C-alpha cells in the first residue's frame, strides 16, 4: 500500500503533461496482488434491474479473475454518500473508510472534489485508459475539470420513451409537451427532484425556455437565477395543473415512469440512456413498439464517472475494479442492447456486438453544476410538499 500511495502522490504533484510518465511508475502487478481478497463497497444507483444485474456480473468476473469482491451498495442518489464521507473526514478517519468506490458526476463530483474527499489522480495510470475515446469530454464533468480524480464509465443523454402504437407524433419540444399535456390531461409527468432524472428534466426545460442562455454555463448568481428561473416556474405552474395526478404526486424515478408507461398510465417516460428502451424490451418490461427519441434541439448529455474516496479501505481493489470496468469486454457487455445498453466511453474499434451501434443524439451541454443545486432547492420549496 505504501508503494501505491507514494506513486500516486508523485502523480498528484505532476502537471497533466507528465501524467503519462507518472503512470509508468505504478506497479500494476503489485496493485493486483494487494487487491486480492479485498471487498470493494461500491455505492451506486440501484434503481434499475438491468444495471444491478450488470454489476452482479462484474462482481463475478472480478472474483474469478482478481480475487476482488464488488459489493453493490444500492442508493437512490449518490448524494446520500457525501455526508458520510464528510463525517468521516471530520473525525480524522483518513483510512479504513466505509466507501471504496462511487458512481458519480455533476454536482456530487464537484462537492466531493471541493471537500477533498477523492483519491488520486489515478485515471491515466489505468492500463485500460488507452482504450478511452479522447474525443469525448472525459476530462470535464459539468464543466468542472476532473483532474484525474474520476474515470469515465459511460455516456448519458436525457431522452424520452413513447409507444408508437399509442402515440404516433410525440412532442419534439417542451413547448409542444405543454400543449400536449393540456390536450391530454393526466398523461404526462416527470420524476420528483432531486432524483437525478427529475433534476435533469428541470435543467433541459430551462435550457429550452431560456434559449440556452450563456449564464447557464457559469456559476449561478442570485441575480441570474432571479432573471431566468421564473421561466421554469411559470411553465411548471401550467404543466402541473394538467400533469399526472395534477402535479401533486410524481414518479420516484425512471423505473416507475417506465412501469407507468407500460401500464398505460403515462404516454411518455424518460431515461438518461438512449438504449435503455431496448434492454427493457429484452427484459419484457416494455412493449416492442416503444421507442426512444430526443427533443429536436438535442438531448442533455454528460459523461458519468467512477471515483475512489480518499480514505477507501480497498483502494487497490477499487483501482482493479475500475480498470476492469473500462476493459473492452466489460464495456461491450455494458453497451449490449440486450443487457444494459449504456453507450460506451471507449473508441468504437475496441467494442464488439451491439455496443458498437449504441444510439446517440445531438448533444446539449449540461449547465454549471451550481444551477442544479439552486433549482432543486427552489423546486422543493414550491412543489415538494
Kindly state the average pLDDT of the residues 342-355.
Answer: 93
Cell match 417516460: residue? 269
Residue 4 scores a pLDDT above 50: no
Closest CA to 323 of 142, 77, 66, 129: 129
Spell out the residues 6+ positions from residue 383 whose beta carbon is closer than 8 angstroms to its own.
236, 240, 247
- Give pLDDT, residue 26: 67
- Give pLDDT, residue 102: 98
Q: What is the DSSP letter of 96?
A: S
Kindly state the average pLDDT of the residues 96-121.
Answer: 94
> Omega of the bond prior to 121 within 30 degrees of 0, cis?
yes
Kindly state the average pLDDT of the residues 269-297.
Answer: 90
Q: Are 261 and 281 in contact (CB under 8 A)?
A: no
Q: pLDDT digit string (tens) for 40-83?
A: 999 999 988 889 999 999 999 999 999 999 999 999 888 889 89
Cα gap 117→309, rounded to integer Å = 6
17 pLDDT tier (thresholds 50, 70, 90): very low
Kindly state the average pLDDT of the residues 3-20.
Answer: 37
Kindly state the average pLDDT of the residues 17-33.
Answer: 61
Tell me the range of 7-21, 313-327, 345-359 where mean pLDDT is highest.
313-327
What's the half-sphere exposure (Cβ side, CA atoms, 13 Å) at 38? 26
Q: Does 11 or 115 have the greater pLDDT score?
A: 115
Kindly state the average pLDDT of the residues 313-335.
Answer: 97
Cα gap 50→28, rounded to integer Å = 31
Residue 13 scores a pLDDT above 70: no
Average pLDDT, the chain: 90
Return the CATH fold of 157-301+364-383: D-Maltodextrin-Binding Protein; domain 2 (3.40.190)
Spell out the residues 6+ positions from residue 288 whose beta carbon is closer than 8 angstroms to its own.
281
Q: What is the DSSP letter of 146?
A: -
Cα gap 89→93, rounded to integer Å = 6
Collapse the DSSP code of 238 into the 3-class scheme (helix H, G, I; strand E, B; otherwise coil) and give the result.
helix
Cα gap 265→100, rounded to integer Å = 40
Identify the CATH assignment for 2-153+303-358 out of 3.90.1170.50, 3.40.190.80, 3.40.190.10, 1.10.760.10: 3.40.190.10
Cα–Cα distance list, 227 to 190, 201, 231 (Å): 24, 19, 8
Closest CA to 361 of 297, 270, 277, 286: 297
Kindly state the average pLDDT of the residues 336-355.
Answer: 92
Q: Are 217 and 369 in contact (CB under 8 A)?
A: no
Kindly state the average pLDDT of the residues 227-243.
Answer: 98
Q: Are 178 and 366 in contact (CB under 8 A)?
A: no
Kindly state the average pLDDT of the residues 110-134.
Answer: 94
Give percent of the chain with pLDDT exceeding 70.
Answer: 93
- Give pLDDT, residue 23: 41
Q: Does 134 or 176 have the greater pLDDT score?
A: 176
- Give pLDDT, residue 79: 87
365 pLDDT tier (thresholds 50, 70, 90): confident
- Give pLDDT, residue 275: 87
Q: What is the DSSP letter of 366?
A: P
Cα gap 322→149, rounded to integer Å = 12
Kindly state the average pLDDT of the residues 170-179.
Answer: 98
280 pLDDT tier (thresholds 50, 70, 90): confident
CB atoms within 10 A of CB 94: 10
5 pLDDT tier (thresholds 50, 70, 90): very low
Residue 309 scores a pLDDT above 70: yes
Range(s) for CATH 3.40.190.10 in the chain?
A: 2-153+303-358, 157-301+364-383
Amino acid at each position: 500500500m505504501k508503494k501505491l500511495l507514494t506513486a500516486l502522490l508523485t502523480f498528484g504533484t505532476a502537471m497533466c503533461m507528465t501524467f503519462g510518465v507518472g503512470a509508468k511508475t505504478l506497479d500494476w502487478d503489485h496493485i493486483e496482488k494487494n487487491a486480492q481478497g479485498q471487498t470493494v463497497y461500491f455505492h451506486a444507483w440501484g434503481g434499475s434491474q438491468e444495471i444491478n444485474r450488470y454489476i452482479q456480473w462484474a462482481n463475478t468476473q472480478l472474483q474469478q479473475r482478481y480475487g476482488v469482491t464488488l459489493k453493490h451498495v444500492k442508493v437512490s442518489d449518490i448524494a446520500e454518500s457525501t455526508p458520510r464521507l464528510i463525517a468521516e473526514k471530520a473525525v480524522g478517519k483518513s483510512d479504513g473508510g466505509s466507501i471504496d468506490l462511487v458512481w458519480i458526476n455533476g454536482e456530487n463530483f464537484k462537492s466531493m472534489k471541493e471537500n477533498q474527499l477523492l483519491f488520486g489522480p489515478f485515471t491515466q495510470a489505468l492500463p485500460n485508459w488507452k482504450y478511452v475515446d479522447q474525443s469525448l469530454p472525459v476530462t470535464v464533468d459539468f464543466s468542472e475539470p476532473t483532474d484525474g480524480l474520476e474515470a469515465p464509465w459511460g455516456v448519458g443523454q436525457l431522452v424520452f420513451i413513447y409507444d408508437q402504437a399509442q402515440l404516433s407524433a410525440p412532442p419534439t419540444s417542451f413547448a409542444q409537451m405543454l400543449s400536449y399535456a393540456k390536450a391530454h390531461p393526466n398523461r404526462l409527468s416527470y420524476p420528483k427532484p432531486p432524483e437525478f432524472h427529475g433534476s435533469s428534466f428541470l435543467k433541459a426545460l430551462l435550457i429550452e425556455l431560456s434559449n440556452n442562455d450563456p449564464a447557464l454555463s457559469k456559476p449561478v448568481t442570485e441575480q441570474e437565477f432571479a432573471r431566468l428561473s421564473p421561466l421554469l416556474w411559470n411553465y411548471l405552474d401550467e404543466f402541473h395543473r394538467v400533469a399526472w395526478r395534477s402535479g401533486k404526486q410524481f414518479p420516484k424515478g425512471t423505473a416507475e415512469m417506465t412501469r407507468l408507461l407500460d401500464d398505460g398510465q403515462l404516454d411518455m417516460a424518460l431515461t438518461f440512456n438512449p438504449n435503455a428502451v431496448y434492454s427493457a424490451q429484452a427484459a419484457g418490461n416494455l412493449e416492442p413498439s416503444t421507442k426512444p427519441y430526443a427533443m429536436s434541439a438535442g438531448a442533455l448529455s454528460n459523461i458519468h464517472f467512477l471515483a475512489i474516496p480518499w480514505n477507501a479501505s480497498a483502494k487497490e481493489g477499487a483501482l482493479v475494479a475500475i480498470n476492469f470496468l473500462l476493459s473492452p469486454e466489460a464495456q461491450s457487455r455494458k453497451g449490449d442492447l440486450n443487457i444494459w445498453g449504456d453507450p460506451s466511453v471507449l473508441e468504437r474499434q475496441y467494442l464488439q456486438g451491439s455496443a458498437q451501434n449504441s444510439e446517440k443524439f445531438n448533444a446539449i451541454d449540461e449547465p454549471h453544476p451550481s444551477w442544479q443545486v439552486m433549482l432543486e432547492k427552489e423546486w422543493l420549496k414550491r412543489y415538494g410538499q
